[in-house]
């Protein structure tokens, strides 16, 4: 068995993980991971935009955004609302699609009867990304007016705010969103390679074209579409995040095609990526290849990422569970790669990290989210006996179309937002932003950082939950 040298931070994380696991043992309990996976996937049906299919399980949601793209002569019906608002942000949507695809590629064989739902969730995203890239040398970045949308508290079925289409192109490039889209298309092409060869080929061919555009016309979509990117601006040195996404796209294209030029691209440009960011989320992902990865997000996380004594990974800044679910996925994937290559991590002083160590740590993250925490609260809506009741989500808060058929105007939903009653529509499977650093949680719609669910929190969790189905 060969050894990988341990970085000081990884050593610290795993020691703390062991200590926190011991401290939190009294709060641990058995969880129904199959039920959690089912609900985790159902959440994506609640985030759908467009014409909903007869198989729609979250029935209080109805058709929405049926004229999206008409302002630029495109059919942009479909896709996902990323969170509790009604804007379609392609950047996090592409990341969501990539992570759902990666979850299936790594753990799909463990998903059982939930695999068709996972494939459906991926295809809902990849279909939309094909539409978003249908014009050569351009990629749709956003549909909707973020500022106007965030001013109104209305159902997606009622949207009265402008559905502006923001596009990046040769003159106004956006390498981040384009490269992330290329990654999503490549990853999803692998998912459908055996079951739908024509569709898979279409996804892969488009991925190649979009990546070429992203690399050839360098620039940040922050500058190109301005307010349209808000709140999903890339908060860092733009050129470094541009490389970050380009590396991500190239890595997925290499994994999908095995064409050496994409692997060469990664090797030749890895030095320009965001080595200083040390995190893994929708706008920060850095990999070397699809089988043996150098995951900066695992091995070199900064001191600003730490563990509660109760066991949860925490990073200040809000919507914390996106870090926990994403890093948990990476740890789980990394454990699999270590096991397959018969490797362990040597941290010195007779402290050796095994694949089982990473799996056990990840299990602690999963169990915390599902309710093994000081509050005894599940942070997944609809799972367990105690979960958030007042999440920051327009469709969940306002009365459903079934109970209030008349169109609601911009501020008619304010009354429901301010209500102290639980949300009338349960968004099953939604994972909220999560607790504060002292393990407290404010179940309040106005506390966006803690109570808003997002697709990019749930997407990595799909693969993590699937892994624990094997017992």
Q: Which residues are catalytic?
A: 392
Task: Kindly give, in sequence order, each residue whose CB lies less than 8 Å from that of residue 269, ignoring residues fewer than 6 positions away.
Answer: 243, 246, 247, 250
CA separation for the pair 152, 252 (Å, rounded): 38
Assigned token pair, 337? 């790669």
Q: Which among 120, 119, 103, 168 has a CA at the least distance from the CA of 142?
A: 168
Q: 187, 105 in Cβ contact below 8 A?
A: yes
Assigned token pair, 63? 């058709």
Q: Calculate helix-pair angle for 115-132, 90-107, nearest 10 degrees.
A: 140
Q: Which among 456, 396, 461 has a CA at the least distance from the CA of 125?
A: 456
Task: Kindly give, in sequence order, each residue whose CB lies less than 8 Å from that of residue 109, ignoring residues fewer than 6 positions away.
Answer: none
**Token pair 């080595």: residue:** 275
CA separation for the pair 327, 161 (Å, rounded): 36
CA 204 from chain centre, in angstroms, equals: 21
Helix count (H) and strand count (E) of the chain? 17, 8
Assigned token pair, 17? 């993980």
β-strands 138-143, 343-346: how paired?
Answer: unpaired
- Segment 273-280 long-range contacts (CB within 8 Å, at least 24 positions apart): 273/240, 273/243, 273/244, 273/247, 274/236, 274/240, 274/241, 274/243, 274/244, 275/300, 276/240, 277/236, 277/240, 277/244, 278/302, 278/305, 279/305, 279/315, 279/323, 280/323, 280/326, 280/327, 280/330
Task: Tell me if the bond preceding 268 is cis, omega within 30° of 0.
Answer: no
Q: 280, 315 in Cβ contact below 8 A?
A: no
Q: 99, 459 in Cβ contact below 8 A?
A: yes
CA separation for the pair 97, 111 (Å, rounded): 17
């Amino acid at each position: 068995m060969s050894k990988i040298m341990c970085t000081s931070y990884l050593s610290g994380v795993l020691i703390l993980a062991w200590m926190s696991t011991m401290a939190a043992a009294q709060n641990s309990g058995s969880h129904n991971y199959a039920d959690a996976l089912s609900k985790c996937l159902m959440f994506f049906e609640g985030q759908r935009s467009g014409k909903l299919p007869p198989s729609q399980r979250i029935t209080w949601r109805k058709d929405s955004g049926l004229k999206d793209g008409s302002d630029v002569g495109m059919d942009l019906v479909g896709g996902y609302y990323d969170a509790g608002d009604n804007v379609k942000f392609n950047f996090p949507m592409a990341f969501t699609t990539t992570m759902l695809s990666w979850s299936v590629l790594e753990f799909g064989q463990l998903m059982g009867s939930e695999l068709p739902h996972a494939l459906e969730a991926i295809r809902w995203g990849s279909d939309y990304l094909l539409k978003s890239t249908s014009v050569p040398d351009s990629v749709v970045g956003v549909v909707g007016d973020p500022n106007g949308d965030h001013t109104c508290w209305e159902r997606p079925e009622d949207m009265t705010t402008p559905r502006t289409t923001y596009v990046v192109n040769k003159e106004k490039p956006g390498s981040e969103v384009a490269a992330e889209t290329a990654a999503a298309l490549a990853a999803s092409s692998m998912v459908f390679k055996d079951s739908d060869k024509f569709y898979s080929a279409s996804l892969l061919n488009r991925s190649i074209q979009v990546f070429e555009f992203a690399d050839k016309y360098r620039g940040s979509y922050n500058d190109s579409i301005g307010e349209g990117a808000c709140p999903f601006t890339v908060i860092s040195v733009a050129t470094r995040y541009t490389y970050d996404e380009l590396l991500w796209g190239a890595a997925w294209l290499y994994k999908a095609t095995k064409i050496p030029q994409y692997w060469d691209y990664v090797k030749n440009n890895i030095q320009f990526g965001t080595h200083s960011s040390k995190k893994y989320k929708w706008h920060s992902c850095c990999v070397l290849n699809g089988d043996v990865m150098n995951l900066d997000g695992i091995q070199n996380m900064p001191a600003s990422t730490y563990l509660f004594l109760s066991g949860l990974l925490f990073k200040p800044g809000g919507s914390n569970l996106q870090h926990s679910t994403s890093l948990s996925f990476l740890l789980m994937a990394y454990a699999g790669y270590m096991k397959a290559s018969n490797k362990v991590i040597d941290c010195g002083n007779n402290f050796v990290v095994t694949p089982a160590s990473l799996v056990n740590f990840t299990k602690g993250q999963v169990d915390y989210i599902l309710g093994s925490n000081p509050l005894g609260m599940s942070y997944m809506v609809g799972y367990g006996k105690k979960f958030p009741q007042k999440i920051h989500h327009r469709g969940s808060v306002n009365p459903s179309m079934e109970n209030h058929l008349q169109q609601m105007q911009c501020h008619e939903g304010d009354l429901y937002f301010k209500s102290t009653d639980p949300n009338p529509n349960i968004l099953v499977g939604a994972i909220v932003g999560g607790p504060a650093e002292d393990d407290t949680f404010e179940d309040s719609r106005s506390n966006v950082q803690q109570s808003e669910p997002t697709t990019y929190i749930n997407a990595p969790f799909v693969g993590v939950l699937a892994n624990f189905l094997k017992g």
